[in-house]
Amino acid sequence: MTCEERARAVVALLARHYPDARCSLDHRNGFELLVATLLSAQCTDARVNLVTPALFTKHPTAAALARADRAELESLIRSTGFYHNKAKSLLGMAKGLVERHGGEVPKTMEALVELPGVARKTANVVLGSAYGIAEGIVVDTHVIRLSGRLGLTKEEDPVKIERDLTAVVPRASWIAFAHQLVWHGRKVCAARKPKCGECPLAKVCPSRSKA
């Protein structure tokens, strides 16, 4: 089975078993998703979802967040970890939105990654989940682990992994594919003890006998 053939099989199986997979960060618009994604670095989405309601009540727009007191902001996001750096990124990002984009979240990769704290993964999350724009494939820890186990890449660098995945996964599936792979990683293909015996991808997974 070639990499392209395996990728097509994986895409079909994931779509069949996880048809409702979606972004697990609660949000109502692109701004909220951008903030939540920045907070999710080295933190669970569940924890972020506990923090953002109060944060968005206090700072519902980019303009409001740009004016936030840093100490107060750090207090609001403290439980997500690395709150000093995250507060700095949030303030810089919000000011960038206000100064360069009239407070609105841009809908291009180029503009998003120019914002403080926003890298390609975050931009892909926002473009895909908030706006339905398939600019690339979100590569998080689950996608890194599973794409390697499934034989879809031999790379370890997220940018190179994304390059390999976009080469074999149909563009129409890019957004859903990432969500489905994340759900599969959480439910079945865990980092320490993957459940190969109940894995719907086992028949096309080259790592099934080693996991």
Which are the catalytic amino acids?
121, 140
Handedness of CA 191, 196, 198, 204 (dihedral sign): positive
**Cα Rg, the chain, nearest whole Å:** 18
Quote the CA–CA distance of 194 and 173 in Å, as a whole number: 24
Which residue has tokens 């724009």?
133
Which residue has tokens 């951008």?
34
Quote the CA–CA distance of 13 and 176 in Å, as a whole number: 12
Question: Any idea of the CA torsion for 92, 31, 165, 161, to the nearest 10 degrees?
Answer: 20
User: How far is CA 191 from each of CA 131, 144, 182, rounded to the nearest angstrom?
Assistant: 30, 11, 12
Please name the amino acid found at residue 145.
R
∠ CA 199-200-206, rounded to 5°: 70
CB atoms inside a 10 Å sphere around CB 21: 19
Give SS3 for 94: helix
